[in-house]
A and B are shown apart, each in its own frame.
Chain A
Amino acid sequence: MPADEGDVVLGPRNITNLPAHKRNISVVFQNYALFPHLTVAENVGFGLKARGHGKKQIEGPVLDALRLVRMESYKDKPIAGLSGGQQQRIAVARALVVKPDLLLLDEPFSALDRKLRETMQVELKSLLRDSGITAVFVTHDQEEALGVSDRIAVMNAGRIEQFADPSTLYARPQTPFVMDFVGLSLRLNGAAKAAGEGRSVVETRHGVVRSDVGLAPGKAAIVGVRPELVRAFSSVDAPAPQAGRNRLEVVLEDVMVLGSKTVLHGRCEEPDRLICELPGIKAGFARGQQVVFEWAVEDTLAYEAAA
C-alpha cells in the first residue's frame, strides 16, 4: 500500500517505499504466525537463513535467543505441539534474533489468557530492556499499554491525541478522549462559569466542580477525576465542606466488591459517570444510599468540550 503523503524514517533511513524484507523491522503477530513446517529452532533461525547466513553462524544466535525466552529445551520440537504462550515466546525469539532496528508487536498477547498475558508482559519488558531494541507495541488493553511502555501514543481516528510517559498520560490526560480511553474516570459534562485566572468553576447536573485549569467562561466543559482519588462518605459522617476540595451529593446505583478494591457507582445519566474506587473491601455502602463523593481540586481534570 503506497503512502498518501509523508515519510517513514527509521534512524537515518527513509523506509517509506522500501519493500518489507529490506526494512529490518521485525513483527510479532497476534496469531504468532510461526511456520508450521519448521521446528522451533528452524523458526527462530529463519531470519538469519534468509539473510544468507550459514548453518554454523545460525546455530549460536538461535540457541541464545531460545535461552532468552527459556525455550531451549524445545529447539527440535515441531510448532504444532506448543501452547499459545510458548508459541508467542518463539515468535518473540524469532523476531529478536535478527537484531532488528525496530520491533513491532501487533497485539501480541491478546490471544492469551489474562494470567499468562501478565507473565508475558513482565518477561517482554525485561527482554526489551536487556536487548536495547526499540519496540512499538500496539494494543487495545490500556493496562498493558501502561505497564509495558516507556512512552505511549494514544491514537484516535488516525491522529495522535497525546504522546507521553505512562504516569503523565494517566495523571494529566490532555484531552477528554485520552481521559476516557486510558483508565476509568469520574466525568461530568457542564458549563464553565467566570472564575479567577488559571482556575475554573464548572456547573454540572450534580453540583459545582472547581479545578486549577483555566477555561473560557460560558463554554461547554467536561470535568473529571481518577476514581481512586475520590473519597466516599455516607451523608451522615461526611466531613464539612472545605476549601480546596470538590464535593458532590450522590445516590449509589451499585456497589461492586472486587477484592483488591470496592467500586461505587453513583446514579447519573450518560455520558456522565459518577465512580469512586476505594482500596480493599469496604463495608457500609449499599445501593440507594445517599453518599458524598469528594476529592482535591488540584486533582481535577477540566477540558473545553468540543463543539
Chain B
Amino acid sequence: MSAIRHPISGTPPRRIGTLVDKTALLAGPGLLYLAVLYAVPLLLLLLQSFRSDDGGFTLVAYTSFFGDTYNLEVLARTLRVAFLTTLLSLAVAYPTAIAMNRAKGIWLTVFLVALVLPMSLGVVVKAFAWSILFRSNGALNQTMESLGLIDAPIRMLFTETALVIGAANVFLPFMVLPIYAVLRQQDDALQHAAASLGASPVFRFFHVSLPLTLPGIVAGAAFVFSLSISMYVIPSLIVGETQQTLPMLIARSFLYLRNEQLGSSISAILLIIAIAVVLFSSWLAARLGAKE
C-alpha cells in the first residue's frame, strides 16, 4: 500500500480522507446540538436520581418508587395505555396505508394533507374540540339521548378509553407513514405472481403483504409506543389528575412536590422503557429484514 502515491502530487492520500468520509462532518452540528441539549442534561438528571441529601450515592428514590402501589398502578396504566394506543392506531393505520398506496393524483394529496394537517393544529385545540363532543351535555350524548339510544348521558371524558382513542388519533400519522412507505416500495407484480400461483386474497395478505410490511409496522409501533408512554399534554387534557401516567407523575414531582430526586428517578425509569422499546424494535426489524 505504501508504494501507492497520488498520481499527480506524488504524495500519499491523506489518511483522514480514506478513513472517514468527509461528508460525515455534516452530522457535526446535529451531534453537537444533541449532546448539549439532550445527552448532557439527561445525564445530569440521571445522576441526580442517585444523589442523597448529603451528596452520597443512594437508591432510595427507586426503592420508594417501587414500594408504593400507587406508583406501580401508574406504571401499569402508562404501559397499558401505550400498548392499547399502539394497537388501535395500527388497526386504523393499516387499511389507511393500503388505501393511500392505491390512491393516485389528487386523492393521494388529500390523504397526505388530511394526515399531516391535524398535526399542525396542536393537541390543545383537538382536546377541547373533543370535550365539546364527548362531555356529558356534549353533542354526542345529546344526539344519542334524543334518538332514544341512551336514557342518561354516558361518561366519556376522563376515562382511559377516551385517552386511548384520543392518543391514537394524535399519533396516527406516525403509524400510517412508515407503513405507507414500505407498501410503496412493494412491487405490484408480487401480488400478481402470488395470484397466478393459486394464492387466494387472504393467503396473499398473510404470506405476502403482511410479512413485507412488518418492518413498517415495527417502526410505526415503536414511534407510537414511545410517544404514548411519554405523552403529557394529551392525558392532562383528557383524563386530568384522576388517571395519572408516568409523565404526569414526573411533572407533579418537579412542579408541586419539589422532589427533584423522585422526578428524575421516574424519568430514568421512563427512559429505560423507551430505550428497551427502541432496542427491541430495531432487533425485530433486523431479524425480519435478515433475508433481504
Q: Which residues of A contact B (CB under 8 A)?
A: 19-27, 29, 31, 33-39, 46-47, 49-51, 78-80, 94-95, 98, 104
Contact = CB atoms under 8 A, between A and B. Distances in A.
B203 interface: yes
A133 to B, nearest CB: 14
B164 to A, nearest CB: 32
A36 B196 CA distance: 17
Contacts, number: 75
A98 B197 contact: yes
A37 B197 contact: no
B220 to A, nearest CB: 18
A36 B212 contact: yes
Given A35-B190, A50-B207, A21 B195 contact: yes
Nearest to A26: B196
Contacts of B193: 27, 29, 33-35, 94
B292 interface: yes
A39 B199 CA distance: 18
A98 B194 CA distance: 12
Contacts of B291: 36-39, 78-80
Nearest to B203: A50
B95 interface: no
A21 B292 contact: no
A152 B90 CA distance: 51
Contact of B292 (A29, A78, A95, A104): A78
A20 B195 CA distance: 6
Nearest to B212: A37
A65 to B, nearest CB: 12
A29 B187 CA distance: 12
Contact of A49 (B192, B207, B288): B207
B146 interface: no
B285 interface: no
B192 A80 contact: no
A33 B291 CA distance: 16
A25 B211 CA distance: 25
Contacts of B197: 21, 26, 46-47, 50, 94-95, 98
A191 to B, nearest CB: 50
Interface string B187-223: 1011011111111110110011001100000000000
Given A36-B212, A49-B207, A29 B192 contact: yes
A19 B199 CA distance: 11
B189 A31 contact: yes
Interface in B161-194: 187, 189-190, 192-194
16 contacts: A21-B196, A21-B198, A24-B198, A27-B192, A29-B193, A33-B190, A33-B192, A35-B193, A35-B194, A37-B288, A46-B197, A46-B207, A49-B207, A79-B291, A94-B197, A95-B196
B212 A50 contact: no
A50 B204 CA distance: 9
Interface string B256-292: 0000000000000000000000000000000010011
Nearest to B215: A37
B192 A20 contact: yes
A54 to B, nearest CB: 15
A77 to B, nearest CB: 9
A74 to B, nearest CB: 13
A66 to B, nearest CB: 16
Contacts of A39: 291
A94 B197 CA distance: 8
A39 to B, nearest CB: 7
Contacts of B200: 21, 50
